[in-house]
Amino acid sequence: MSQAVPTPDLVALRRGIRRRVLFDKLFSLFGWACLAVGLLTLAALLVDLAVDGLPHLRWDFFTSFPSRKAERAGILSAWVGTVAVMIVTGMAAIPLGVAAAVYLEEYGSRNWVNDIIEISVTNLAGVPSIVFGLLALGFFIYAMDLGRSVLTGGLTLAILVLPIVIVATREALRAVPFGVREAAFALGATKWQTVWHHVLPYSLGGVATGVIIALARAIGETAPLITIGALTYIAFLPTSPIQSQPPFVSFQWTDDPFTVLPIQMFNWISRPGDDFQGNAAAAGLVLLVMTLMMNGGAIWLRYRLRKRIRW
């Protein structure tokens, strides 16, 4: 059966292709421009901070307490406070968030109670951080009488980032194919054995990434800590966790007052005159580098663990 195939108008065809490909190129150019806005802003911020801050970044900036004299002021109490608060935040948010996510993803069946919990968790992630500060002020300080301590600060930030940990963990759990769960169940494993021996270990990369991103968010938070009344000027360190007397370990530090890097920065910025502005920039630089390092760590971890397990 022969059928007359009409000769295509190749010139018109090719012109059409060129026109459509041109649009592709224009769009990718536009996309680059959009990206550049974000990247340039970040770069400008970094350069600005570096110009003002780098001259102040000497070793004794890290080992000195804040002072009334700008050239002698340092961030010792602030970075130690930040580390202490992050430890409490991590110890509270990681087990709570991961356990909640495991429940929602592996145990909870689809019913209206779990639907409401799910919606609430998502909404919680969008609540302004200062509202968490108010909650913490009312609950941890007035109701539970924990004081304006490292513990209160850490727990406040822990609730703040809990939704991030939960959402990230759930996504990581969901990435484990159902075939693996079925294989474990088919061998007579219980839910807990399946989760503990298989699902959690295989999703560790995603969970760890989510945790680090949550902590990176917490490290820069200022408003909720100011709300609970964290001090802005502290010239001493929390009690050391290691003691020379028995029992050699002390948890007194969780009860001590604290300040953190962003609050120290805020304090310096709000001083009149230019003396302290350089210090603020230097502290900002330290904070930014800490955040970038944590995010970098998250990327590295994800890469390492993904290489081992790829579905």
| Binding region for another protein (CB under 8 A) out of 62-70, 122-130, 183-191, 263-271 | 183-191
By beta-carbon proximity to another protein, the closer residue of 68 and 197 is 197
Give Cα 250 to chain centroid, integer Å: 28
Q: What is the SS3 string spanning 151-207?
A: HHHHHHHHHHHHHHHHHHHHHHHHCCCHHHHHHHHHCCCCHHHHHHHHHHHHCHHHH
In terms of residues, how long is the chain?
A: 311
- Binds another protein by CB under 8 A, chosen from 193, 240, 243, 270: 193
Q: Does 197 bind another protein (CB under 8 A)?
A: yes
Question: How many Cβ atoms are within 10 Å of 147's Cβ, its own excluded?
Answer: 15
Q: Does 180 bind another protein (CB under 8 A)?
A: yes
Alpha-carbon torsion (218, 48, 230, 139), positive or negative: negative
By beta-carbon proximity to another protein, the closer residue of 65 and 185 is 185
By beta-carbon proximity to another protein, the closer residue of 194 and 222 is 194
Q: In the range 201-220, which residues lie near another protein by CB under 8 A?
A: 202
Q: Does 246 bind another protein (CB under 8 A)?
A: no
| Binding region for another protein (CB under 8 A) out of 123-131, 141-149, 191-199, 237-245 | 191-199
| Binding region for another protein (CB under 8 A) out of 93-101, 148-156, 179-187, 223-231 | 179-187
> What is the C-alpha R_g of the chain?
26
- Binds another protein by CB under 8 A, chosen from 46, 65, 117, 198: 198
Q: In the range 85-114, which residues lie near another protein by CB under 8 A?
A: 109-110
Q: Which amino acid is at 67?
A: S
Cα distances from 187 to residues 184, 203, 216, 263, in angstroms, run: 5, 21, 40, 54
The residue ranges that bind another protein (CB under 8 A) are 109-110, 177, 179-190, 193, 197-198, 202, 308-309
